[in-house]
Structure 1
């Protein structure tokens, strides 16, 4: 800001200008592809893998492979679908809670959930998983 102080037009207070720049930088940061496409793997891992104490080693490895495939399939989706699916399936949110959390119309949330679920299903089928195989 110090280097661009000469671009300040003094149409508003300096504090207002500073706040506006800060807000715009925050919005830019959240729009970045790398930030919007993050999946918090520890949360997903703990939710995907079931109780390993009663499963054989082979079943545990198979569950982890399937879990990794699901993680990769979810990460390939658009952020608008990904965030809703993660909140619904992995965080056990209801659609109403998701719409409130994301500050989104309920019907928009429901539509994105259905579309995201269909995209996820197609992606998993493309990767070789058919209905009921995981």
Structure 2
């Protein structure tokens, strides 16, 4: 079914593209949220990534999975935006201001506070990594891709993937220790 939707989308069928993207909307949002650190920017970047995907669908050759192709577009969209801003983080008070209602839906204020504080620390530490470092940590530790899948997504050897993950996990640990 997905391959037919892709084929129709490539041939200009907007309705087929919309059906195809419904499956991946949350996936794209999760990627952009992890890269941008707040829901407002994540929404904007997810929307922009999906528009870019629509405009470039004719370039999808099927050499990789559609999700991998879409992932690259979402990550590159975020990297471009972060490069434009020349800063990768928002102050903590802005992050708290952009929480969704679902984030606030918990009932215990102390747990909410502790959870948000921990999320902000981890996101802040992630934001201090290089874009490539942040990318491999998100792919492996947050999205759960295998080393082989990450190598295909990033188009680098598995050895490079392993060393980037190891180096950036150590950096992340050191950042979190220093802030403790």
Q: Which position in structure 2 is the counterpart of 1:93?
A: 145
Deviation of 1:76 after TM superposition, in Å, equals: 0.4
Aligned partners of 2:125 and 2:172 also within 8 Å: yes
Alignment of 1:1-134 (within 5 A): 30=80, 33-34=83-84, 56-128=108-180
Computing the radius of gyration from Cα coordinates, the structure with the larger value is 1
Distance 1:85 1:77 in 2: 10
Q: Deviations over 1:44-97 (max 9, x none)?
A: x89xx8xx75x6221121011100110010010112211100111221212211
Distance 2:149 2:172 in 1: 21
Gaps of 5+ in 1: 1-28, 129-134
Q: Deviations over 1:4-41 (max 9, x none)?
A: xxxxxxxxxxxxxxxxxxxxxxxxx95x73479768x9
Higher helix share: 2
Aligned partners of 1:99 and 1:105 also within 8 Å: yes
